Structure formats: C-alpha cells, structure tokens
Amino acid sequence: MSVQAKIPALRLRVSAAAESIVRAGHPWVFAASVRGQNRPGKMGELAVIYDRHDEFLAAGLFDPDSPIRVRILHKGKPEPLNRAWWRRHWEAALARREGLFEGHCGLRIADCGFAGAVSEAGVSELVSSEFPLADSLIRSFRTGFADCGLEARQAMPVHGRTTGYRCINGESDGWPGLVLDRYDTTLVMKLYTAAWLPRLGELEELLATLGDRVVLRLSRNIAATAREEFGIEDGQMLRGMAPEGPVVFLESGLRFEADVLRGQKTGFFLDQRENRRHVESLAAGRRVLNLFSYSGGFSLYAARGGAAGVCSVDISPRALEAAERNFALNRDVPAVAACPRETAQADVFCWLREPAARRFDLIVLDPPALAKRASEREEAMRAYSRLLTGAMARLNRNGMLVAASCSAHVSAVDFFDLAREAARQSGRGYEEWLTTRHAPDHPVTYAEGEYLKCIYLRFR
Ligand code: SAH
C-alpha cells in the first residue's frame, strides 16, 4: 500500500515513554504521546515514527480523529511497506492458523467426502464450495494428508470439522483494528478504526486471494465517519453478492448459522468455541441452563454431549429463533434430536431473581460485556456478582458453573476472584475445575486486547 506520491512522508516524534512502549511491542501510540510531526496527517496514511536519536522506530496507520493516533504495523528494521510487504504480512497472520482447523484448506468440500452429510441439511452451497486459503496453508494440508479422502477424515480433530474461525485478530496479528472471520466460503472483515477506510481497495486485493464473498462490517464508533466521509455502510459487500440469509458453517462438526450482515460481532461468537467443547464434555446426563444463550452455541454442544435437557435464556427473540434454527440444522445428530430443549425470552437479571422453581446440573453464564468503558468497571463487578450468586443458587448438588466474562475492563484475575468469593459466600463446598482465556485463533499480544476469561466451578 503506497504512500501518496510527492508529499513528504508523515514523520512523528513521540515521548520517551511511548518510545519504550512501542519498542516493547505495544501496538498503539496515543495522541498525548506525540511530541511533534512534520505536517498534519490524513486519515489512514502511513506515519513513520522516529526515536530520540532520529532513528526509525516504527511505522503505522495514522488516525487524526482518534486518541489512538497511530496503530503500529511494523517496528524494528526500516522496511518499505510496499505491496510485497503487505502480502507477506497478510500471509504471516493466516499462517498462524496452520494446523488449527485441519481438513478444510483450499480443497473442495465435496472432495473431502463430507458432501453427503452436509447436503442432508439442505446446505447446498456448502457442497460445491471452494475456498482457496493462503498457499502455505494449502501446502501444509496437502503434505499432512496423502489425499483428501479417508485419511483426512481419520485425521480430523475429535471434535469434527470447523469452517468458521478467526483468520486475523487485529493488533495481535499485526493488523491493528482489523478482524477477519471466515464462515465457510464467506469472509467477514470488521474494521474498528476509520484508518483502514481509505485503504479498502488495497485490502480487497488481499482478500481476493481468499474468497469471492466478503462482507464489510464496521464498529459502531466508525459507522458515521464511514458513511459521511467515505460513503461506506456497515454490512456492504466488498466482493461478491450479499448472502440471501444467514450463512451456514461448521464448528466442531456442528452446523450453525451466522448473520454476517447484521449480527453481533461478525455474526457469531467464534471466540467461545473452546469453552463450548468443554461444556460438551461435561454435559452427559446433566440438565443444562444456558444463560445469555444468543443463538444457542453452548446449548447445541451440551445437547450433542448427551445433556438430559437444555434451557436457553436470552432477552432477544431473534437470538432465540436463531437457536431454534441451529437445533433444526443439526437434527441429524442423534443426541441433538433426542435432547429435550426449551427457550425462555427474559432478562437474565430478573429471571434469576424469580423464586427458583427448578435447578440445573450445569449452568453456562456468558453475559455481554458489562463494562464497555473503564468508568463502568465497578458497576459491572457488582452486576457479575449478582449473576454469579444467582446462578450458583440454581445449581444442584455436584453441579458445575461455567462463568465467562468478555469485559476488557474487568481483568481475568479480578473476575476469577469475584467468582471464587461468590462461591465461598454460597456456603457450599466447591472446587475449581478449570480457568480458560483466549482461543488459539484469537491470540492476544497486548494487555488491552485481553477480554475473554472463563472459570469452571464444581459445587458439592
Ligand atoms: N453465549 C453466547 C454469546 C452471548 S452474547 C454464545 O456462545 O454464542 C450475549 C447475549 O446476551 C446476546 O444474545 C444478548 O441478546 C443477550 N443479552 C443481553 N442482555 C441480556 C439480559 N439482560 N438478559 C438476557 N439476555 C441478554
């Protein structure tokens, strides 16, 4: 991605503290740390940062409107950020997923022997799909498996195939403010900074190496700038035709739909896959309650794991309808078909205050981010406390609570301590089974990027 011709490169000097932080790998330079610049910068242009000895320190995307003034793309040895560099940078992020989701890299799904299973669900588009991923991924797949028949299936991870996952996780993959998720053959690129907006053409070139259908999603904070200054709308297509309905993909062999055009995040909560797998392994014979269920991700895994019943609670009727459709998509899985299920459309805070008519053996508590900004942290801690206590009161003897938080402003240590304290206060004996953090396709390399944590507590 070339810097505009003729005008001198945008050069910045930053405070000594910011210099050390960037050197240590932090991806942001705040406006308050900028000590000087050679000219006003434009949205999305490359800013070159020099250290106090006038040596190259880093280069990044400039955003004149954000307190995060520069998002670092490259640090260390100076290098031209030319087309070849961007391509290498792109492939490096994709290559980090190598080996995580075997069996679906650039090969026709029909070749892999799954066409039958998929077409039964009426998901015809899956059958003929082709999805060329990065060359290195394709190579690793081909060298890993002699052909794409039986060997590939036998080499599948025990959980089954996954065709929905994160390909690029923003800053932590070297692509600040940019997320790329894949749902089968549909890619969803979500931008969290307006600095990418002038570079959409160049991004499209890179995206073309991956697939023919790419949806653009915008975070709420940049939607107005995108519309007014760039004529770009949330949910518009970058490549190909808009899907007519939700996109169907596989996660651990289960079928789910993703509302890629309007759904939360990029259409599905891909970040909870590993916790869902744990829940599946814990569900056999248990009555399961899924609080803040969204489209029933945890509920489906619990059902496949042999739950005695699953109750999904969410405030959104749309989310619960999606959960119903997800159950329907998996009715050919015997355990899913056999599992009694129900939904309750309710505010979980109120629902938990109602006199407990029933108790459960396994409760998943996965609320939305309760602290969206630092100032909301204390209130969020109180809200988590109420939820944890309310959920624990609904647990049977030997019941397991799986409690997650996705608030970046509440640290993992604080959330785990809060859960342990609520468990102590319950007066019941308990054991800690597990704590988890980010999934491998959602790597995090800097403190502000950490948000997801989950604790598993078994009560006596
Ligand atoms: N566990 C889900 C993701 C949860 S996202 C998964 O694995 O996919 C948070 C969900 O909480 C959303 O579906 C939202 O509709 C719901 N929600 C938000 N506030 C709520 C409330 N007060 N009561 C019930 N549901 C709520």
Atom of ligand 1 nearest to the CA of 348: 23
CA distance 33 to 319: 43
Any atom of ligand 1 within 6 Å of the Cβ of 344? no
Any atom of ligand 1 within 6 Å of the Cβ of 294? yes
Any atom of ligand 1 within 6 Å of the Cβ of 319? yes
pLDDT(424) > 70: yes
| Mean pLDDT of all residues in 141-159 | 39
pLDDT(140) > 90: no
What is the model's pLDDT at position 152? Answer: 40
The CB density around residue 405, as the number of other CB atoms within 10 Å, is: 31
What is the model's pLDDT at position 147? Answer: 30
Any atom of ligand 1 within 6 Å of the Cβ of 272? yes
Any atom of ligand 1 within 6 Å of the Cβ of 256? no
Closest residue by Cα to atom 15, ligand 1, is 316
Atom of ligand 1 nearest to the CA of 292: 11
Q: Which is more confident, 414 or 136?
A: 414
Q: Could you tell me the two tokens for 91?
A: 């492939």
Q: How far is the CA of 295 from the centre of ligand 1 (A)?
A: 9
Q: With bands split at pLDDT 50, 70 and 90, how would you rate the model's confidence at 2?
A: low
Residue type, 370: L
Q: With bands split at pLDDT 50, 70 and 90, how would you rate the model's confidence at 159?
A: confident
What is the model's pLDDT at position 133? Answer: 43
What is the percent of the chain where pLDDT is above 70?
87
Q: How far is the CA of 437 from the centre of ligand 1 (A)?
A: 19
Q: With bands split at pLDDT 50, 70 and 90, how would you rate the model's confidence at 99?
A: confident
Q: With bands split at pLDDT 50, 70 and 90, how would you rate the model's confidence at 403?
A: very high
pLDDT(18) > 90: yes
CA distance 457 to 435: 9
Q: With bands split at pLDDT 50, 70 and 90, how would you rate the model's confidence at 106?
A: very low
Closest residue by Cα to atom 16, ligand 1, is 292
Q: How far is the CA of 407 from the centre of ligand 1 (A)?
A: 13
Q: How far is the CA of 305 from the centre of ligand 1 (A)?
A: 22
pLDDT(156) > 70: no
| Mean pLDDT of all residues in 13-34 | 97
Tens-digit pLDDT profile for residues 353-399:
998 779 999 999 999 999 989 999 999 999 999 999 999 999 999 99
| Mean pLDDT of all residues in 185-197 | 98
Any atom of ligand 1 within 6 Å of the Cβ of 348? yes
Q: With bands split at pLDDT 50, 70 and 90, how would you rate the model's confidence at 101?
A: confident
The CB density around residue 190, as the number of other CB atoms within 10 Å, is: 20
With the most atoms of ligand 1 within 8 angstroms of its CB, the residue from 262, 273, 280, 294 to mutate is: 294
Could you write out the DSSP letters of every residue in 303-326?
Answer: HHTT-SEEEEEES-HHHHHHHHHH
Any idea which of 2-6, 163-167, 362-366 has the lowest mean pLDDT? 2-6
Any idea which of 81-90, 128-137, 430-439 has the lowest mean pLDDT? 128-137
pLDDT(118) > 90: no
Atom of ligand 1 nearest to the CA of 272: 7
Any atom of ligand 1 within 6 Å of the Cβ of 349? yes
pLDDT(124) > 80: no
Closest residue by Cα to atom 22, ligand 1, is 347
Q: How far is the CA of 80 from the centre of ligand 1 (A)?
A: 45
Q: How far is the CA of 383 from the centre of ligand 1 (A)?
A: 14
| Mean pLDDT of all residues in 101-118 | 38
pLDDT(322) > 90: yes
CA distance 305 to 284: 5
What is the model's pLDDT at position 346? Answer: 98
Q: How far is the CA of 217 from the centre of ligand 1 (A)?
A: 20
Any atom of ligand 1 within 6 Å of the Cβ of 347? yes
Any idea which of 1-10, 322-331, 395-404 has the lowest mean pLDDT? 1-10
| Mean pLDDT of all residues in 40-49 | 97
Atom of ligand 1 nearest to the CA of 269: 8
pLDDT(3) > 60: no
Any atom of ligand 1 within 6 Å of the Cβ of 301? no
pLDDT(149) > 70: no
pLDDT(427) > 80: yes
| Mean pLDDT of all residues in 123-136 | 35
With the most atoms of ligand 1 within 8 angstroms of its CB, the residue from 264, 290, 314, 318 to mutate is: 314
Query: CB–CB of 155/144 below 8 Å?
Result: yes
What is the model's pLDDT at position 151? Answer: 39
Rounded to an integer, what is the distance from CA 430 to the centroid of its chain?
Answer: 31
Q: Could you tell me the two tokens for 385?
A: 């406390």
Beta bridge partners of 343: 312
* Cα dihedral 33/39/42/43 (nearest 10): -10
What is the model's pLDDT at position 336? Answer: 98
Tens-digit pLDDT profile for residues 48-76:
999 999 999 999 999 999 999 999 999 99
Atom of ligand 1 nearest to the CA of 268: 8
Please report which residue ranges of 96-233 form alpha helices under DSSP H. 115-120, 124-127, 135-144, 150-154, 200-207, 220-230
Atom of ligand 1 nearest to the CA of 319: 13
What is the model's pLDDT at position 158? Answer: 67
Q: How many residues does the chain have?
A: 460
What is the model's pLDDT at position 7? Answer: 84
Mean pLDDT of all residues in the chain? 88
Q: In 3D, which of 219, 229, 177 has the Cα closest to residue 72?
A: 177
